[in-house]
Amino acid sequence: MPLAHSGPILAAPDLDSVVRAVRARGLRVTAARRAVIETLFVAAGPVSVEEIASGLGGARSTVDDASVYGNLETLEELGLVRHVHLGHGPGKWTLADRARREYLHCERCGASRAVEPSLLAPSREAIRAATGYEARFTHFPIVGLCPQCAREGREGEPG
Protein backbone atom coordinates (compact mmCIF):
# COMPACT_ATOMS: atom_id res chain seq x y z
CA MET A 1 0.00 0.00 0.00
CA PRO A 2 1.50 3.38 -0.98
CA LEU A 3 2.27 5.77 1.83
CA ALA A 4 0.45 9.07 1.88
CA HIS A 5 2.65 11.90 0.73
CA SER A 6 1.51 14.51 3.20
CA GLY A 7 2.84 18.01 3.19
CA PRO A 8 5.38 19.70 0.97
CA ILE A 9 8.79 18.37 0.16
CA LEU A 10 11.27 19.68 2.70
CA ALA A 11 13.22 22.66 1.48
CA ALA A 12 16.96 22.31 2.14
CA PRO A 13 16.50 19.72 4.87
CA ASP A 14 19.11 18.71 7.35
CA LEU A 15 19.49 15.13 8.56
CA ASP A 16 17.40 15.72 11.68
CA SER A 17 14.50 17.22 9.72
CA VAL A 18 14.39 14.18 7.43
CA VAL A 19 14.45 11.84 10.44
CA ARG A 20 11.64 13.85 12.08
CA ALA A 21 9.61 13.74 8.85
CA VAL A 22 9.92 9.93 8.71
CA ARG A 23 8.83 9.60 12.35
CA ALA A 24 5.98 12.10 11.88
CA ARG A 25 4.50 9.73 9.31
CA GLY A 26 4.51 6.91 11.83
CA LEU A 27 7.58 5.07 10.55
CA ARG A 28 10.61 3.91 12.47
CA VAL A 29 14.06 5.19 11.69
CA THR A 30 15.93 1.89 11.57
CA ALA A 31 19.71 1.70 11.40
CA ALA A 32 19.44 0.77 7.71
CA ARG A 33 17.08 3.67 6.93
CA ARG A 34 19.29 6.14 8.77
CA ALA A 35 22.38 4.82 6.95
CA VAL A 36 20.66 5.30 3.58
CA ILE A 37 19.61 8.85 4.50
CA GLU A 38 23.10 9.72 5.73
CA THR A 39 24.65 8.37 2.53
CA LEU A 40 22.34 10.55 0.42
CA PHE A 41 23.35 13.59 2.46
CA VAL A 42 27.05 13.16 1.73
CA ALA A 43 26.56 12.32 -1.97
CA ALA A 44 27.56 15.08 -4.37
CA GLY A 45 24.65 14.30 -6.71
CA PRO A 46 22.26 11.50 -7.67
CA VAL A 47 23.63 8.05 -6.76
CA SER A 48 22.70 4.47 -7.69
CA VAL A 49 21.64 1.79 -5.23
CA GLU A 50 25.07 0.21 -5.69
CA GLU A 51 26.79 3.51 -4.87
CA ILE A 52 24.58 3.93 -1.81
CA ALA A 53 25.27 0.37 -0.67
CA SER A 54 29.01 0.81 -1.10
CA GLY A 55 28.84 4.08 0.84
CA LEU A 56 27.31 2.41 3.87
CA GLY A 57 30.71 1.37 5.16
CA GLY A 58 30.41 -0.65 8.37
CA ALA A 59 26.62 -0.72 8.13
CA ARG A 60 26.98 -2.50 4.75
CA SER A 61 27.35 -5.90 6.40
CA THR A 62 23.80 -5.63 7.74
CA VAL A 63 22.15 -3.81 4.82
CA ASP A 64 21.55 -5.65 1.55
CA ASP A 65 20.49 -4.15 -1.78
CA ALA A 66 16.85 -5.14 -1.18
CA SER A 67 16.85 -3.13 2.07
CA VAL A 68 18.39 -0.16 0.28
CA TYR A 69 15.71 -0.34 -2.46
CA GLY A 70 12.92 -0.73 0.10
CA ASN A 71 14.11 2.23 2.13
CA LEU A 72 14.51 4.39 -0.97
CA GLU A 73 11.00 3.53 -2.16
CA THR A 74 9.55 4.37 1.25
CA LEU A 75 11.45 7.65 1.40
CA GLU A 76 10.27 8.47 -2.14
CA GLU A 77 6.64 7.81 -1.21
CA LEU A 78 7.12 10.23 1.69
CA GLY A 79 8.42 12.85 -0.75
CA LEU A 80 11.85 12.96 0.89
CA VAL A 81 13.89 11.45 -1.97
CA ARG A 82 13.29 10.83 -5.63
CA HIS A 83 14.91 9.00 -8.45
CA VAL A 84 16.01 10.16 -11.85
CA HIS A 85 17.35 8.34 -14.86
CA LEU A 86 20.59 9.66 -16.29
CA GLY A 87 21.43 7.84 -19.48
CA HIS A 88 20.95 4.12 -20.00
CA GLY A 89 22.09 2.90 -16.58
CA PRO A 90 20.07 2.21 -13.46
CA GLY A 91 18.02 4.93 -11.82
CA LYS A 92 19.79 7.22 -9.40
CA TRP A 93 18.51 8.65 -6.15
CA THR A 94 18.83 12.05 -4.52
CA LEU A 95 17.30 14.05 -1.70
CA ALA A 96 14.10 15.72 -2.85
CA ASP A 97 15.36 19.25 -2.19
CA ARG A 98 18.36 18.55 -4.40
CA ALA A 99 16.07 17.07 -7.03
CA ARG A 100 14.51 20.42 -7.81
CA ARG A 101 16.89 20.45 -10.70
CA GLU A 102 16.67 18.99 -14.09
CA TYR A 103 19.47 17.17 -15.82
CA LEU A 104 21.29 17.27 -19.12
CA HIS A 105 23.01 14.06 -20.16
CA CYS A 106 25.66 13.61 -22.85
CA GLU A 107 24.82 10.64 -25.05
CA ARG A 108 28.44 10.29 -26.14
CA CYS A 109 30.59 10.50 -22.97
CA GLY A 110 27.89 9.93 -20.34
CA ALA A 111 28.49 13.17 -18.42
CA SER A 112 25.47 14.62 -16.62
CA ARG A 113 24.87 18.14 -15.41
CA ALA A 114 22.15 19.58 -13.20
CA VAL A 115 20.42 22.75 -14.39
CA GLU A 116 17.85 24.96 -12.75
CA PRO A 117 14.26 24.26 -13.85
CA SER A 118 13.84 27.88 -14.99
CA LEU A 119 16.25 27.17 -17.86
CA LEU A 120 13.65 24.85 -19.40
CA ALA A 121 10.64 27.10 -18.71
CA PRO A 122 10.41 28.33 -22.33
CA SER A 123 10.31 24.71 -23.57
CA ARG A 124 7.69 23.81 -20.98
CA GLU A 125 5.56 26.76 -22.09
CA ALA A 126 5.94 25.92 -25.80
CA ILE A 127 4.86 22.32 -25.16
CA ARG A 128 1.84 23.46 -23.15
CA ALA A 129 0.83 25.98 -25.83
CA ALA A 130 1.12 23.41 -28.64
CA THR A 131 -0.30 20.34 -26.92
CA GLY A 132 -1.89 21.24 -23.59
CA TYR A 133 0.60 18.98 -21.78
CA GLU A 134 2.28 20.16 -18.60
CA ALA A 135 5.81 18.91 -19.31
CA ARG A 136 8.00 17.87 -16.41
CA PHE A 137 11.63 17.19 -17.13
CA THR A 138 12.30 15.66 -13.74
CA HIS A 139 12.41 11.89 -14.19
CA PHE A 140 14.48 11.61 -17.35
CA PRO A 141 17.27 13.91 -18.54
CA ILE A 142 17.43 16.04 -21.63
CA VAL A 143 19.82 14.06 -23.84
CA GLY A 144 22.30 15.64 -26.22
CA LEU A 145 26.00 16.38 -26.48
CA CYS A 146 28.04 18.14 -23.80
CA PRO A 147 30.11 21.13 -24.98
CA GLN A 148 33.29 19.07 -25.32
CA CYS A 149 31.68 16.24 -27.32
CA ALA A 150 29.84 18.75 -29.52
CA ARG A 151 33.13 20.56 -30.18
CA GLU A 152 34.90 17.28 -30.98
CA GLY A 153 32.07 16.34 -33.35
CA ARG A 154 32.34 19.65 -35.22
CA GLU A 155 36.11 19.34 -35.46
CA GLY A 156 35.74 15.97 -37.21
CA GLU A 157 33.21 17.27 -39.76
CA PRO A 158 34.32 18.34 -43.23
CA GLY A 159 34.43 22.13 -43.50
pLDDT tens, position by position, 99-141: 567 888 898 998 888 888 888 899 999 999 999 999 877 777 8
pLDDT score recorded for residue 155: 64
148-158: pLDDT as tens digits: 999 998 765 54
Domain span including residue 39: 15-95
Q: Is 126 exposed, middle or buried (0-12, 13-18, 19+ CB in 10 A)?
A: exposed
Cα 18 from Cα 146, distance rounded (Å): 34
Residue 40 is part of a domain; what is its CATH number? 1.10.10.10
Q: For residues 56 and 158, which has the higher predicted lDDT (pLDDT)? A: 56
- pLDDT given for residue 114 in this prediction: 81
| Total number of domains in the chain | 2
83 and 149 inside one domain: no
Banded pLDDT at 55 (limits 50, 70, 90): confident
Indicate whether 21 and 67 sit together in one domain: yes
Torsion angles phi and psi, residue 133, rounded to 5? -75, 145
* 4: in domain: no
20 and 89 housed in the same domain: yes
Is 88 or 158 the better-scoring residue by pLDDT? 88
Question: Do 21 and 80 belong to one domain?
Answer: yes
Strands (E) located in the chain: 81-84, 92-95, 102-106, 112-115, 142-144
Q: Write down the pTM of the prediction.
A: 0.66
- Own/partner contacts of 48-55, CB < 8 Å, gap of 24 or more, are 48/89, 48/90, 48/91, 48/92, 48/93, 49/90, 49/93, 50/90, 51/92, 52/93
Residue 31's alpha-carbon distances to 56, 63, 80, 89, in angstroms, are 11, 9, 17, 28
* pLDDT of the residue at 120: 87
CATH number for 129: 3.30.1490.190
Cβ distance 84 to 46 under 8 Å? yes
- Given a cut of 90, whether residue 64 has pLDDT beyond it is no
Residue 89 pLDDT exceeds 80 = no
